[in-house]
Amino acid sequence: MPQEMIHSEYSEIMEKSYIDYAMSVIVQRALPDVRDGLKPVQRRTLYDMHELGIRYNGPYRKSARIVGDTMGKYHPHGDSSIYDALVVMSQDFKKELPLVDGHGNFGSIEGDGAAAMRYTEARLSKVTQEVFLSDLDKDVVDFVPNFDETEKEPSVLPVRIPNILINGAEGIAVGMATSIPTHNPGEVIDLCINYMKNPDMSTEQAMRFVKGPDFPTGGIVTNKDDLLSIYSTGQGRIKLRGRVVTEPGKAGHTKVVVTEIPYTMIGAGIGKFLSDVAALQENHLTNDISDISNQSSKEGIRIVIDLKRGADVENFINLLYKKTKLEDTFGVNMLCVCDGRPETLGLIPLIRHHVDFRYELCRRKYTTLLNKEREKKEIQEGLIKACDCIDLIIEILRGSKDRKMACNCLVNGVTDGISFKSERSRKAAATLLFTEKQADAILDMKLYRLIGLEIEALRGDYEKTLKNISTYSDILTNRTSMTKVIIDDLKSLKKEYSIERRTTIDNVAEAVVREKPVEEIDQVVLIDRFGYARGIDMATYERNKEAAINESRRVIFCKNTDRLVIFTDSGKAHTIKVLDLPMGKFRDKGEPVDNVSNYDGTKERGVFVAPLSEIIEKEVYFVTKRGMIKKTGGDEFETTRKTIAATKLKEHDSLVAAGFAEKRSSVLIRTDKGYRLRIECSDIASMHKTSVGNCGIKLHKEDFVEEALNYDDTSDQLAGIDPGRPGSYGSRKR
């Protein structure tokens, strides 16, 4: 068989393959369908539970059975994705209306994971069975082959409420993500009803019914004015706050109690919140906390923070909002699969798509019901007609040799081979002319149906069937009638499944923290050889001066409101707030410099430390290993950032020394080979911190600068080592 060679650009093949993969992930895995608000894995799991007969009023079944059956029949993408979807659909702290009733450990709001699927059990919830799956037997949605074409699965579930808004959705696809907040079921159903009455309503009118998101965790939405823009475009940021109350404690103390958390804090966020609150005390942002305890239970969230007597409670609560995740943002991106492609929709388009879907479901449902009623009418008419001439029919049955002969007589009037009592009966039999369905029903009819009361009941059923046919025909031909049916159904669903709103919508001013004024005092910062830093007051230093000099690698005199700048051999400048360092007794243990700055003692070495207030008033010289030298104005290092580049370095170069370029002082450079060079500070070129500098000393091939020291002309002393000077290293004479 001859083979055909296809020539194509490799880039074109890769592009097409990647686009096919991306669209498959977007449509078949990650994004919900706008009609039922479900991802494929969720839809398949619920349908499989329906097929297994796991009803809300029946016994629970092992989750492993559900997962295995779903994976084998409909979703061959691994058991973890199916079980994860099952778990999320059962969690009432993530869904407004949980779709699965879980039995066992299905995780907690504090981030505890669910137990393994072999330990947990599940069944459909009532809302899923009655609102999502009840009409599947009425041909309301299309069924498509599964992955191996051995089963059929629904392309979409016949959901009768806007699930995509009520339960929201989260998903990450290729190049896009969806994040739809949850909403109150009653409000969303009200919006559907009023939209059907007024399809031309605006987003502003729609928000009279849907006030905003309603999260299962409650909380407060603080940017009410931004919601109109968010719901118009389908994108934006919702600002969330937890709910905080105060309670009186013992001996005049006050308790700050968090009773509701932002939706974004679900899971590990609660543990991080507790750590962040403790860090406020450790970082000296507040001194008002005496105790923290998490008293949350199945009844709800309760995080208690005990404050010291006399604490500014309002300011502390604002500090929680400002410095922790108790105030957070929820990014809204209402992206979903619409007509087979991803699309970002606002509130009105989402409702419009659902209402159109409801009309389609209603049309198909009542078309199916009408056809069934017409079939029933045909059979009922045949049975009533048969009851009126039952003696003749019995004569036909008794005279026929088999069922086929009797059926042929009833349908086509063929009397050949049938023995009748009289010729008159033969002629009458030839005129019956029942339909095939009527004939089958007559032949299957039981004798008790000939009782007088049964015949009356049959006539009553026939009248009811005629009434149903008239009603269904009116619904299918009259848009107003169909609308009324849908609205009545929505009202009954609202009555059954409406819940009280949990999230408050308001405009709240941004939290403002009033920082307590810090009394400015002189102090000394000591850094030991292990990189631990601590502060002591001047009186303590004077009493322990000799020990401080001998035991410390750095002795820096500064104000407690100042910041220290550490210049390292990598050419960086790290800033530390003096207030971040522990202040205490002389023998108290300090705080590692690594913990309060970006300095990493394992990868870089400090070469110069000084208070920022002193640096910005002077010039700083830099000497590198390869002999480059320059000086830079100290004001270039005034920044709020924790780390900046102090000087630019050439490849394989490093900073050897830095210091103040004082008037009447020099820099003494010493190389590894023993060469020395003295340069007046006034002769060093002034350059920006982004410059490399000039060549300060010419080096032999294998030589390098080992150290550089200040030489003070006024005292005839190497000035880089006097511990009495800020930022210096030690002391020695020439």
8 Å CB contact between 660 and 620: yes
Paired with 577 in beta bridges are: 563
Query: Helices 347-388 and 390-399 meet at what angle, rounded to 10?
Result: 80
Annotated catalytic, 119? yes
Quick count: other Cβ atoms within 10 Å of Cβ 364?
17
8 Å CB contact between 621 and 667: yes
Annotated catalytic residue: which of 119, 359, 366, 599? Answer: 119
Q: How far apart are CA 13 and CA 300, in angstroms?
A: 54
8 Å CB contact between 236 and 181: no
DSSP assigned state of 27? I
Three-state DSSP state, 392: helix
Three-state DSSP state, 591: strand
Give the contacts of 721 (CB within 8 A, at least 6 positions apart): 709, 728, 729, 730, 731, 732
Rounded to whole angstroms, the maximal C-alpha distance in the chain is 151
Q: How far apart are CA 380 and CA 708, in angstroms?
A: 111
- HSE of 612, CA atoms in CB hemisphere, 13 A: 20
DSSP calls for 604-671: --EEEEEEHHHHTTSEEEEEETTSEEEEEEGGGG--SSSEEE-S---TT--EEEEEE--TTEEEEEEE
Q: How far apart are CA 222 and CA 208, in angstroms?
A: 18
Over its C-alpha atoms, the chain yields an Rg (Å, rounded) of 41
Left if phi > 0, otherwise alpha if psi is -120 to 50, otherwise beta: which for 219?
left
What is the dihedral sign for C-alpha 196, 199, 205, 206?
A: positive
Closest by CA position to 290, among listed 326, 343, 252, 261: 252
**What does the angle CA 416 – CA 418 – CA 423 come to, to the nearest 5 degrees?**
85
Write the CA distances from 482 to 359, 417, 601, 673, integer angstroms: 8, 53, 75, 98
**Hunting for tokens 């009434």 — which residue is that?**
467
Strands 169-172, 177-180: pairing is antiparallel
Three-state DSSP state, 694: strand
**Hunting for tokens 């808004």 — which residue is that?**
165
Q: Which two tokens stand for residue 714?
A: 């006024």
Q: Which helix (H) or strand (E) holds 535?
A: strand 532-537
Strands 220-221, 504-505: pairing is parallel
Closest by CA position to 77, among listed 6, 139, 25, 116: 25
Q: Which helix (H) or strand (E) holds 153?
A: strand 152-154
**Hunting for tokens 């009655």 — which residue is that?**
130
DSSP H stretches of helix in 336-435: 347-388, 390-399, 403-412, 423-429
Full 3-state SS string of 444-475: HCCHHHHCHHHHHHHHHHHHHHHHHHHHHHHH
What is the dihedral sign for C-alpha 70, 76, 82, 85?
A: negative
DSSP assigned state of 115? P
DSSP assigned state of 529? T
Residues with a catalytic annotation lie at 119
